[in-house]
Amino acid sequence: MTTILFITGTDTGVGKTQVTAGIAASLRGSYSLWKPIQTGTTLGSTDADSYRLKYGSGTDQREEDIVSITLPDPLAPWMAAERASQSIDYQALVLEGQRRKKEARILLVEGAGGLAVPLTDNKLIVNLTVDLGLRILLVARPTLGTVNHTLLSISYAKQHGLQIAGIILNGYLSLEDPALAENVQMIEHYGGIPVIGTLPWFPCTASTEEEWILWREKWSKIVSSSVDIPRILPE
């Protein structure tokens, strides 16, 4: 039986890729990665999510096997495709997702932005998540405003019948900041979803293979000690 997790965020830039890579690295190879679509980059670029997923996780998957669609403009997929004079075949993505679900023991799927991001002119990211029957892991900021953004994302997911496995607050600057625990308390109280981990700001400046190995070892230790991974990916 395949265990599947769709990693989404309350916004773009909250660290979905870094969190996904860290979870994958902590699993030590018993997983498969999928990024249905990425924008604002080119395949092979060091700033591409697919590149950072590959080297941040240590997977043997080729970068072109991780990502399905890459578009150059930093826009929502629908508009990025329009700018590139391309169209996104939504049904093809659904079929690919179904195939990947059958082939992997653990499948980690990273979305683009949040759930309400336009994928095509009549489909949002949330539609792909629903059509593939995926549980979601919600990555949020730890800073001021995150309670509002997170509760709105929880409400939106529940409206679409999605199961939320948990929430991760990513990127705190100080564990001693009382606002961090207060945000966790408010999100759990009003959202009814557990915050299964809080992660520090841990920038990645790796460029060589050796640097990626060192960064990956450090980050995966932080993630595995700070996130209740068995809760979201039970054996």
* Domain residue spans of the chain: 3-232
Residue range 197-210: average pLDDT? 93
Matching residue, tokens 């965020």: 9
- CA–CA separation, 89 vs 106, rounded Å? 25
What confidence tier does 48 reach under pLDDT thresholds 50, 70, 90?
very high
pLDDT band at 23 (very low <50, low <70, confident <90, very high): very high
Binned at pLDDT 50, 70 and 90, residue 45 comes out as very high
Q: Hey, is 124 helix, strand or coil?
A: strand
On the question of pLDDT at 144 being above 80, the answer is: yes
- Considering the chain, what percentage of its residues have pLDDT values greater than 70? 99
Which amino acid does the sequence have at 208? Answer: T
pLDDT digit string, tens, across residues 69-107: 999 999 999 999 999 999 999 999 999 999 999 999 999
Give me the chain's average pLDDT, please. 96
Judge contact between 140 and 19, C-beta under 8 A.
no
Task: Tell the residue number behind the tokens 């999928």, with chain if given.
Answer: 34
Q: Residues 140-169: what's their mean pLDDT?
A: 98
Structure tokens at 214: 């060192």
Residue 163 structure tokens: 């199961």
Cβ atoms 141, 171 nearer than 8 A: yes
Q: Which long-range contacts (CB under 8 A, 24 or more apart) does 46-55 make?
A: 46/207, 49/17, 49/110, 52/17, 52/18, 52/21, 52/204, 53/17, 53/20, 53/21, 53/24, 53/110, 55/206, 55/209, 55/212, 55/216
The pTM of this model reads 0.97
- The CA-to-CA distance between both ends of the chain, in Å, stands at 10
pLDDT band at 28 (very low <50, low <70, confident <90, very high): confident
Cα angle 102, 197, 126 (rounded to 5 degrees) comes to 45
What local confidence, expressed as pLDDT, does residue 1 receive? 65
Catalytic residue (one of 35, 123, 218, 221):
35
Report the pLDDT value the prediction gives residue 138, as an integer from 0 to 100. 99
pLDDT at 29 over 90: no
Burial class (CB in 10 A: 0-12, 13-18, 19+), 163: exposed
Answer whether residue 56 shows pLDDT above 90.
Answer: yes
Q: pLDDT digit string (tens) for 155-199?
A: 999 999 999 999 999 999 999 999 999 999 999 999 999 999 999
Note if 102 is an active site residue.
no
Q: Residue 169 has what pLDDT?
A: 99
The answer to whether the Cα torsion of 140, 144, 147, 150 is positive or negative is negative
Percent of the chain whose predicted confidence (pLDDT) is above 90: 95
Whether the predicted pLDDT of 235 surpasses 90: no
| The listed CATH number (3.40.50.300, 3.40.190.10, 3.40.50.10360, 3.40.50.1820) that belongs to domain 3-232 | 3.40.50.300
179 DSSP assignment: H
